[in-house]
Chain A
Amino acid sequence: MGSQGGWGQSKEFLDLVKSIGEARSKAEEDRIILREIDTLKRRIAEPDVPRRKMKEYLIRLVYVEMLGHDASFGYIHAVKMTHDDSLLLKRTGYLAVTLFLNEDHDLIILIVNTIQKDLRSDNYLIVCAALTAVCKLINEETIPAVLPQVVELLGHSKEAVRKKAVLALHRFYQRAPNSVSHLISNFRKRLCDNDPGVMGATLCPLFDLIKEDINSYKDLVVSFVSILKQVAERRLPKTYDYHQMPAPFIQIKLLKILALLGSGDKQASGHMYTILGDIFRKSEPSSNIGNAVLYECICCVSSIFPNPKLLEAAVEATSRFLKSDSHNLKYMGIDALGRLIKINPDIAEEHQLAVIDCLEDPDDTLKRKTFELLYKMTKSSNVEVIVDRMIDYMRSINDNHYKTEIASRCVELAEQFAPSNQWFIQTMNKVFEHAGDLVNVRVAHNLMRLIAEGFGEDDEGADSQLRSSAVDSYLCILGEPKLPSVFLQVICWVLGEYGTTDGKYSASYIIGKLCDVAEAHSTDDTVKAYTISAIMKICAFEIAVGRKVELLPECQSLIDELSASHSTDLQQRAYELQALLGLDSQAVESVMPSDASCEDIEIDKNLSFLDSFVNQSMEKGARPYIPENERSGMFNIGNFRSQYQHEASSHSLRFEAYELPKPSPPPTIPQVVLPLPTTDLVPVPEQTYPRETHHAPNLPSATDASSVDFGVKLRLEGVQRKWGRPTYSSPSASSSSSTQKTANGATHLDGRTVSSQTRDNFYDSRKQQAEVSAEKQKLAASLFGASTAKSEKRQLPTHKTPKGVPTTAEKPAVKGAISSSEPPKEKTVPSSPPPDLLDLGEPTPASTPSIDPFKQLEGLLGPTSAPSAIDHSSAAGPKTPDLMALYTDTPPAAVSSGSLNPELADIYTVNKNSHGTTNVAAMNKGQNRQDSLQKDATARQVGVTPTENNPSLFRDLLG
């Protein structure tokens, strides 16, 4: 057939393409494009550029943008081109516009009119071109301009138009679901379209709709099942086949939809069992596309209500994937395994070695997928091995996106399954050390809370042991260079709270360490704030027990430095510390109580402690407080937002009178009320600091409010809302996770040491070869474990249950559920009548389109086209197997499988006999080769040398 349309391009275009093709570096390519931009700017502005010439310019502009340069100077010409009458030029215009502009570009408005006109065209190809443009160019605002026409086109006589109209509607749904909510039923109607292409395309919007609202589409289950059945039974035209599979892409889409509809729905799933079984049976494991369908089938089976027979088939297919040599299939197998173990965790055991192979494979993609699987199968018995592996891997990766993900997974698993507190803290230390800057701050706060609150059990001894071990490890870690800021904050906080608690370290030692931290991170204000607060706490604890604090010189210089800091926060902390040092032990004790981080802070919402002060002022003649929203002539500034808006708007002229100036805040005298100095001295009490920050605003409210309030009693209606509702972090919520953590004792630790011992034994006794596999088996054993510990879950109230019991308890439960699902399956088989494809209750007569629409079309084109049609179909015949032969991924084993047609097998044998592969190509692709030779010759004629020795895409695959 050759390249149709010929080489109609100008010499200039050919030269451009040639030079781009031959460019050896990005810099060279950039030079070519910059020169081209200059040329185009000149040419495109010339008067009376011929339309064909303009089309070529547009393609050149597309090149300019594709290679990363701005072509905005030519956008308007692309827009103009869409007005052209010629189909090719119009479609090129639309193409250029869709490539250049996003839907919110200013020029789009100039196209809406053209689109409207084209949607009314008699030429269905123009309508199609317009609909394609609609999908890319129409934004939410312009939807109404074309919506009626698009809806009308859903009933067009040409299937190509109907298909594109469905997708235009789909696009509107994606953009603005509300704009088409009343038209959703059209998708259901088009599912019954006579044309399989329209039906197949309709599955895309339906999939999106079903994902949003599964229950509204349960009635379609039977229809989807019957369509799938008919597709699988090859009732669609042959032209939809791909590598001998009947319409595999439609099958896959249907399986995706069924997986959604059958999820957790026994009845709906019942309808699907038969067809899924059929697909498993018919599957062609020798081809890639067959495996794609198979994989989708596994996904579907693991999503719907479980059926033992199907699960068995799915497991079998999965194990075939895992055993395959192809990395792609292994990848799919690992993914499938991750889905299946949700139904039955035992499945993983059989494949432990395959999984470990994938885990240790140098292929990063495979490794990541396997980590995902491990993450899914983590339980308390294997959490240590898995998290250790994850952390090891985390160290080696540079991709921050993935590092963040895997770090948060480590944290999640550690929080959920930690076998001991010690282990938890060590794990967190490692995570922070290697990915500290990527971890969510919340994780740091959780860790601090955990150390402070202990593990929820009333065992103070264990808690304090935990704390001192944390302090030990942190003092050790502090020696390392370059610690992430978040981690340092945790360290400082813990050292401040518990550094001196157990008496192992002296105050001056800890303070010295903290000063070092502040010095080493002089640019990080947050860390410095944490250090100074920690120093303050340690000093306070010392003073409280009656010891005298002798400040180290470096500490004194730190305080001096921070007192003069640019950061007011640091300044304040430094001054507070200095003030604290001057107080006596009793005052200090009430200001900074020891180990008070877990105490609930009582907040007097009514600020009743100010009552006496308010009364005093009233007696002196102050006016009572009027809540702001009750004041006349003022906006309702009940909350922050409107206040800000108010301030923002006050830049313009104000027409109403200014309100009376508020009295200036009187100095708050500390000795009036006792609790006040506490809050005044430490506006941000240290115990609240590391917790959720919303504590902070509550306290300053005391002083703040006093500046405005002069009533008999404080009226807080207006005030309270201003600071928002007081929220406390409920200790119960925060500790729920930590209580769970304690459930498992140190038994696992023991198990681990034993295993490492045995490992040592292995090293001693075995040979190198054996060692590797022994190592693997060891890993397998620790990952998949003695199956006994398997179902030991956190939620279980007792972890002391004899091993083995939970498993046996769970297995029958699963089995029971499965077997109970069998009867409906048997029942539904005969009850669901196999309706014809596309005959889904629509009045339209059911007719399987057996006529090839292509031939119909060709027939319309007049006498000249008739022979070409024949030519085409005859050419297509031998060509398909040709492709198959060259098809890279077809494993050689496929030949022996005998499922391929004899022609193909021939090719393979020829291949074997004549060692030269190109020979085969010559023999089998004779005509094609001539074609390409001719093409090469043409290319050379016009002065283009192909960059490759072997220009054909397929040819290289033989070598």
Chain B
Amino acid sequence: MEYLFRSPIDVDIHLENEEERSFVDIEFEQGRKDKAPVYGSDESVKGAVMIRLKDGRKLDHNGIKIEFVGCIENTYDKGNIHEFTRSVQELASPGEMRQAQMFDFEFKHVEKPYESYFGKNVKLRYFCRVTVTRKMTDVIREKDLWVYRYENEPETNSLIKMDVGIDDCLHIEFEYTKNKYHLRDVIVGKIYFILVRIKVQRMEVNIIRRETIGTPPNQYSNSETVTRFQVMDGNPNRGETIPLRMFLNGYSLTPTFRDVNKKFNVRYYLSLILVDEDQRRYFKQSEITLWRRKDEQGIIA
């Protein structure tokens, strides 16, 4: 993505039915914002490229092409871009342009095997890139797309139930009714207090996203608390049960990504935290799997 300071031409990529699609707001590092239209995973990518000449000058070029690219980039290590899919279409052979021209393009049933993801340290993008090759510097323009992948209801969905604690101090049994949740699901569960010898001030359940890039030994992780739910205020007695009901809709969650193209992982955890009056924290993390469900009305979750 290069914007030549004094580019002699204006290149615009327009995707078919762009206005009718839903779109996702995306932001790049330099603050550049865009709206990426949403595509299905095996839809064709069709559209037109409009090239306009500035100042009435004519353009000599060594060929114009358009590529459809799917790639994984490391945000902090710019050189590290891995393209996992690429298709090319020639738009014009070397020659001269004296007036504005429009070129149609179509990438039929192009494979988009993974869901788009813009994370803290890694991005998975799909985009169309037009390259106008010239003697001095090429003119390049990119247009991002967004891809969602849907799944069906998982076949098995077991309960998460555990007995944890510190000997003689604190003993709890917690339960979450499922271990796989779709993005607009509800987390239902309960916490049962078997032994409480500490002075509990409050209890909360946090959703944590952990992004891991690379493979061992060069693995790099970063965690982010997506949201906190306070579930209890004050000190419980033994034998008391606190019910949990937490709605996932509305938070910036993505499906769980496991080893995408062997390059990165995005996993989610529920972290149950108790805080005592001296601000000591007692916590237990459990991994959950998030998946994207297509609503019956066709609303994209």
User: Are A and B physically bound partners?
Assistant: no
B residues with a Cβ closer than 8 A to A are none
